[in-house]
Amino acid sequence: MASSIRPSLSSSLRFASSHSAPRFCLSRAPSWTVVLSHFGSVSLQSQNFLLCASPLWRRNTSVYSCGKSGKVAQASKTTDHEKLLDWVKKDNRRMLHVVYRVGDLDRTIKFYTECLGMKLLRKRDIPEERYTNAFLGYGPEDAHFVIELTYNYGVDKYDIGTGFGHFGVAVEDVAKTVELIKIKGGKVTHEPGPVKGGTTVIAFIEDPDGYKFELLERGPTPEPLCQVMLRVGDLDRSINFYEKAFGMELLHKRDDPEYKYTIAMMGYGPEDKKAVLELTYNYGVTEYEKGNAYAQIAIGTDDVYRTAEAVKLYGGKVTRKPGPLPGINTKIMACLDPDGWKTVQKSFDNIVFWHTTALSHDLVYDVSIS
């Protein structure tokens, strides 16, 4: 039953009951305050007092203030925000694939399969839209992070820009992989050797389109395609966004003052078992050129609608409202992080990995250019 409590003329009031009723204190405020709770409702009939509930009460309460017009306006959404953040942390998420454009699809497929040991998972041509896709990786799409290459008819070169960094691939023997890449005509930009300040052997190479790959020497791993590195202008802001909007975990953070950069590894599991997002901040650099080569990452989620709420709440921009795709039941939403990097979220409950050729690709990937 709803109850109404009238404050006394004193500036403070406390009450408690044998049923552990919540405590309140009253302080002066210029307008009415109405507190609505699932326990009932409490309303104050004075313009001179403000009701302040204890933390226990506030967890189950929404606070509203009434101005002289008598209209109720929500003054606090703390409870809703806490519930949303809690849901994000518990959401079932996985990095699905990374999308980028190449100038010669067959050439790139040959390089990835022969030099990096990937498999061509599927390929589709959409002549009416003048583009072709190829999906490559180290295992099926429903269980692995994979690459989606896009070739747009007649476009043989793209601008990678300064913001994209590299992809990471774990191999058992970096030196042997590098020798194979040299034989196949690949470009090695950093010879095999231990990473600075550590023991992990790494090397850097470039594919035929100029995309950089970091080869990391590891034992057998369930996710050889293990990293996507992007540069950001404010690392703490990006960490906060990916933690709260996408539910990623900060796996580790490393600062290198000698070379003036800091990196943060974000993901949904250990780096040796899951693909991760490597965010890099270069001292004093707040903006980068993104070019038109790299497109986006796709992430699976249980609910694209609630994900869109979290993205807007924590500094992102929704560029495609959540909802089902025309002709199929897969629900998606697209957004930009605070630096403008694009992510597509797909619902797990009805995700379709083999899209129909009748589906317009710009609704899903937005990877072609005119």
Q: Which residues are annotated as a binding site?
A: 148, 166, 214
Count Cα neighbours of 162 within 13 Å in the Cβ-side half-sphere.
9
CA dihedral 114, 115, 118, 120 (to 10 degrees): -40
Q: In what order do the strands lie in the sheet with 40-43?
A: 40-43, 32-37, 61-66, 72-74
Q: Is 214 a catalytic residue?
A: yes
Binding residues for Zn(2+): 148, 166, 214
Position of tokens 């600075």? 196
> DSSP for 121-175?
EEEEEETTTTEEEEEEESS-TTTS-EEEEEEETT------TTTEEEEEEEES-HH
Q: Report the alpha-carbon distance of residue 149 to residue 134 in Å, rounded.
A: 5
Q: Are 2 and 40 in contact (CB under 8 A)?
A: yes
Q: Which of 161, 192, 196 is nearest to 178 (CA)?
A: 192
Q: Report the alpha-carbon distance of residue 79 to residue 115 in Å, rounded.
A: 52
Q: Which of 128, 214, 278, 289 is catalytic?
A: 214
57: three-class secondary structure by DSSP: helix
Helix pair angle (105-115, 174-183), 10° resolution: 140
> DSSP for 20-36?
-PPPEEEE--SSEEEEE
Secondary structure E strands in 13-118? 24-27, 32-37, 40-43, 50-53, 61-66, 72-74, 94-101
**Which residues have a catalytic role annotated?**
214
